[in-house]
Amino acid sequence: MSATVRVNRHGFLTLRIRWRGRDAYVGTKLKDDGVDGRNRARLTAKATLIAEDLRDEVPIHTVLLKHLGACPVRLLPTSERAGGLSKAPTVREYYEAWIQRQQPPDVRVSTAKRHETYFKAVILPRWGDVPLDHVTVSGLREFRRQLCERTVRADRSASRRYGT
């Protein structure tokens, strides 16, 4: 098991992970800043940690979520391979684990606060008790439509109040 840092054709850093006899490429949003650059040094350190966890036979999706905060869908286990998971976590349960990873220095302080505020005020009241495997694209589109209507109505009432 190994993980090496590469540069893709767009100039972003990627991880090439050799796992179970196959190559898995995981892209990042980090720009390549040269051999001695900060982005490359950080990703190289994370690649070392990822390789160590994979040698300890930790599942790849768990390792990537732990060290990168995300995992490509193609590397997530299917329900057949998951074998023993009783039920999917709810959005609230996943949020509790996810928000712990969204802390400085990985994200800005303002971004961490904004995530927490939006989730508690808007997303969790509607989606908190829904299991993740029941969240659908059509449900999210409907939710987005309702949010936009709510915003538009507020704007119209404000314009009537102030005569604009």
Give the model confidence (pLDDT) of 56-67 as tens digits. 888 888 888 888
Alpha-carbon distances, residue 145 vs 50, 66, 140, 142, 150 (angstroms): 40, 33, 9, 5, 9
Residue-level pLDDT at 86:
52
pLDDT tens track for 9-57? 999 999 999 887 788 888 888 898 888 889 999 999 999 999 998 888 8
pTM above 0.85, yes or no: no
For residue 5, give the nearest of 65, 46, 56 by alpha carbon.
Answer: 46
